[in-house]
Structure 1
Amino acid sequence: MKKRILSVLLCVVMVSMLLMGCGGKSDDGGSADGDSDKDSGGKEKIGITIQSLKNDYWAGVMGKLEELLKEEGYEYTLVDCSDNAPTQVSQIENFITSGCDLIMVHPSDAEAVEGICGEALDAGIKVMCWDDPMENTTANWILDNTALGRDIGEATAEFINANYTKDAPAKVCTIGYPSTKVLLERETGIKEGLEEFCDDGVFEIVASVEGIEADKALANVETVLQAHPDCTIFAGVGAGAMIGANEALLQKFGGAGKIPENVGVITTDVTMQQLESLKAGDEAVRAIVGFEGSSLDTAKACLEMYKRILSGEDFSGDKNVVRPTRAITVDDVDDIIAGM
């Protein structure tokens, strides 16, 4: 009888040890779903779905955001939907099923995820949208994308006015991504800014191409340069547009230090590659219209939004929290690089 009792007790101990082992760490030291090494300390669970991590800007900011989430002990999962709306809907469904306290979505298609985000709200989960003024959310962290585009257009116009005349106007190419609503708004704003701030008759838009990712922008700008070899100004909606266009121009003119002074690329977003090109001063990058500052600055501002939402702050009066923009110049580029 004693042997039977001892055997049962041993079985209970072994089962308990197996159960304790469930929830172990992954090979890289973090948990399989993105936990930090330390105990979450009761911190909430966050699900994050991003349009594309192939975009240099998003990759940089999300890398810093992950560092901050780990430091503060949050449990989180961060996924990339590869700019595919059905995939993103499925990801949000998984976040609901897994019991997230907060879901942040950077929509591939905002209309396509409205329904599933409404289901998350019905399940008592808070929802934050980055970029789109969605309806079925707790709060939206957004840019006025038309206004941002106008700022890019104004910065481009300043460069054009300083280097071109009505007798010898600039040939301009805009680089956008019209299938995404906010980026279409941004490109529209660029064109409005050029019209408003350029001197009369000093520019002509000869091409408009896609280029949210650097490799696509590079290929499309090369095509533009073949069709319009006198095209010298490229204004775009993001980091990929700048990186790709700058590389195409470096190839055309023979490398850094050989770019003519009247050739320029102006876009938004802030990546290390953009900042280094701006700081170098001998490439085609002429101006960057940025946001909070560095990738770390933006990640901190995003985490602050998480905390505001999770704390129960009431956004019912105006759920659209508009992010500030700022011009990045060679004067403060070193400070921003330090935060990348």
Structure 2
Amino acid sequence: MKKKVVSILLCAAMVSAMAMGCSSEAPASDSGSEDSGSEEGGDGSLTIGITIQSLKNDYWAGVMSKLEELMKDKGYEYTLIDCEDNAATQVGQIENFVTTGVDVIMVHPSDPDAIETACKEALDAGVKVMCWDDEMENTTANWVLDNTALGEEIGKLAAEFINENFTADDKAEVCVIGYPSTKVLLERQQGIESGLEKYCEDNYEIVATTEGLEAPESQTNVETVLQAHPDCQVFVGTGAGPMNGANQALLQHYGGAGKIPANVGVFTTDVTMQQLDSIKAGDEAAKGIVGFEGSNTDTASACLEMIEKVAAAGDDDFQGEDHNTFRPTSVINMDNIDDILAGM
């Protein structure tokens, strides 16, 4: 997308979005991006540009909706837009944020390598840059997960379930749902496989590996796995889409809620209402997730706090080992789900 066209679209989005808020399902857009809102008329203390990989993702939509509420409460001016997982579009969005004179840019990269130059140009122009998810070089700071360690925690959570329900003589059939074309999700998938190997008691076999990012794709691919492996009991994945898709596929496979065998379970990460509702129901395949700060509100609050720190950073801040700020993780299951639901 040419810079001039992106500028026109972005400006139009900023005006029209004053009456909009981010919903759990982003509206369709013909412009090549999805605008979830811009709030102006605050105290002018901070102007923020945010570009997200995709707002069709339930996790991102939920957290960004809460983040918008917090930014409005503080009177910050902001533009929040997605790039529909297109790196060229995201480069244009970053360039336009610099042109419009924001104080700080938060980027969730479609392709971190592809936007390094644009982020460097932003830094050179005096704009602070925060990356969510990737350990980029040309940023003020990165707010990241140790995705290999996160994957291992997912594998450990699934291993606890496998150890309770299976033995070396009666091994669990496992399907891994990954998305190797995205670096952080490949690391997460590799961590899952490592966690299974580390924590299981020689009582499982990975019978299938498939791809899935959003729920519809994940559901279709899990249905294909179940055709080849109808007795596959444990599904581990890299995000909300794999859990929601696998859960729906298994509900259809077994004939509905309440008919899922006790030794069938789905374990992933992210925190969305659909995931939490499925776990809370207690009679579906979704069993547990490895979450981050907690609820959408918890994550949005931590994110805004990080944005504010990046905006206020001096030349000596976030240097060396401090360039990456790692986020905490925790298990979410039936034991604490009511607390998490309260913050969604």
Mapping of residues 46-125 of structure 1, within 5 Å? 46-125=48-127
- State the distance in 1 between where 2:187 and 2:36 align: 35
Task: Tell me the secondary structure at the aligned position of residue 167 of structure 1.
Answer: coil
Task: Tell me the secondary structure at the aligned position of residue 209 of structure 1.
Answer: strand
Match of 2:238 in 1: 237
Match of 2:333 in 1: 329
Distance 1:28 1:176, change over 3 A: same
Match of 1:134 in 2: 136
- State the distance in 2 between where 1:94 and 1:25 align: 15
Say what the alpha-carbon RMSD is for the aligned residues.
1.8
User: 1:81·1:88 contact (CA, 8 Å) conserved in 2?
Assistant: yes
How far the C-alpha of 1:330 sits from its partner, in A, is: 1.3
Name which of 316, 320, 332 aligns with 2:319. 316
Task: Tell me the secondary structure at the aligned position of residue 221 of structure 2.
Answer: helix
Distance 1:34 1:28, change over 3 A: closer
Task: Tell me the secondary structure at the aligned position of residue 244 of structure 1.
Answer: helix
Match of 2:26 in 1: none
User: 1:35·1:74 contact (CA, 8 Å) conserved in 2?
Assistant: no
- State the distance in 2 between where 1:301 and 1:204 align: 38
- State the distance in 1 between where 2:160 and 2:241 align: 22
User: 1:139·1:321 contact (CA, 8 Å) conserved in 2?
Assistant: yes
Instruction: Tell me which amino acid in the other structure corresponds to 1:108.
Output: S
How far the C-alpha of 1:102 sits from its partner, in A, is: 0.5
Name which of 24, 36, 53 aligns with 2:39. 36
Give the TM-score, by structure 1 length: 0.90
Match of 2:292 in 1: 291
User: 1:30·1:36 contact (CA, 8 Å) conserved in 2?
Assistant: no
How far the C-alpha of 1:331 sits from its partner, in A, is: 2.2
Deviations 1:28-55 (A, max 9, x none): 5469994436x32122111111111111
Deviations 1:294-315 (A, max 9, x none): 0010000000001111122511
Name which of 157, 160, 166 aligns with 2:159. 157
Instruction: Tell me which amino acid in the other structure corresponds to 2:249.
Output: A
Point out 4+ residue stretches in structure 1 off by more than 2 angstroms.
24-37
How far the C-alpha of 1:112 sits from its partner, in A, is: 0.5
User: 1:35·1:73 contact (CA, 8 Å) conserved in 2?
Assistant: no
How far the C-alpha of 1:191 sits from its partner, in A, is: 0.1
Distance 1:109 1:35, change over 3 A: closer
Percent identical across equivalent pairs?
A: 66
Match of 2:224 in 1: 223
- State the distance in 2 between where 1:286 and 1:80 align: 31
- State the distance in 2 between where 1:256 and 1:43 align: 50
- State the distance in 2 between where 1:101 and 1:42 align: 10
Task: Tell me the secondary structure at the aligned position of residue 39 of structure 2.
Answer: coil
- State the distance in 2 between where 1:224 and 1:29 align: 44
- State the distance in 1 between where 2:186 and 2:17 align: 42
Instruction: Tell me which amino acid in the other structure corresponds to 1:326.
Output: S
How far the C-alpha of 1:27 sits from its partner, in A, is: 7.7
Instruction: Report the more deviating stretch, 309-318 or 264-273.
Output: 309-318
How far the C-alpha of 1:334 sits from its partner, in A, is: 1.1
- State the distance in 2 between where 1:286 and 1:71 align: 35
How far the C-alpha of 1:25 sits from its partner, in A, is: 6.1
How far the C-alpha of 1:64 sits from its partner, in A, is: 0.5
- State the distance in 2 between where 1:91 and 1:42 align: 21
Match of 2:263 in 1: 262
How far the C-alpha of 1:26 sits from its partner, in A, is: 4.2
Q: Gaps spanning 5+ residues in structure 1: where?
A: 1-23
Deviations 1:1-35 (A, max 9, x none): xxxxxxxxxxxxxxxxxxxxxxx964854699944
User: 1:161·1:198 contact (CA, 8 Å) conserved in 2?
Assistant: yes
Distance 1:305 1:27, change over 3 A: closer
Mapping of residues 138-149 of structure 1, within 5 Å? 138-149=140-151
Instruction: Tell me which amino acid in the other structure corresponds to 2:247.
Output: N
Instruction: Tell me which amino acid in the other structure corresponds to 2:78.
Output: Y
User: 2:36·2:81 contact (CA, 8 Å) conserved in 1?
Assistant: no
User: 1:257·1:282 contact (CA, 8 Å) conserved in 2?
Assistant: yes
Q: Greater CA radius of gyration, 1 or 2? A: 1
User: 1:149·1:190 contact (CA, 8 Å) conserved in 2?
Assistant: yes
- State the distance in 2 between where 1:187 and 1:27 align: 37
Distance 1:27 1:293, change over 3 A: closer
Q: Gaps spanning 5+ residues in structure 2: where?
A: 1-13, 22-34
User: 1:242·1:265 contact (CA, 8 Å) conserved in 2?
Assistant: yes
Distance 1:26 1:80, change over 3 A: closer
Task: Tell me the secondary structure at the aligned position of residue 301 of structure 2.
Answer: helix
Match of 1:209 in 2: 210
Give the TM-score, by structure 2 length: 0.89
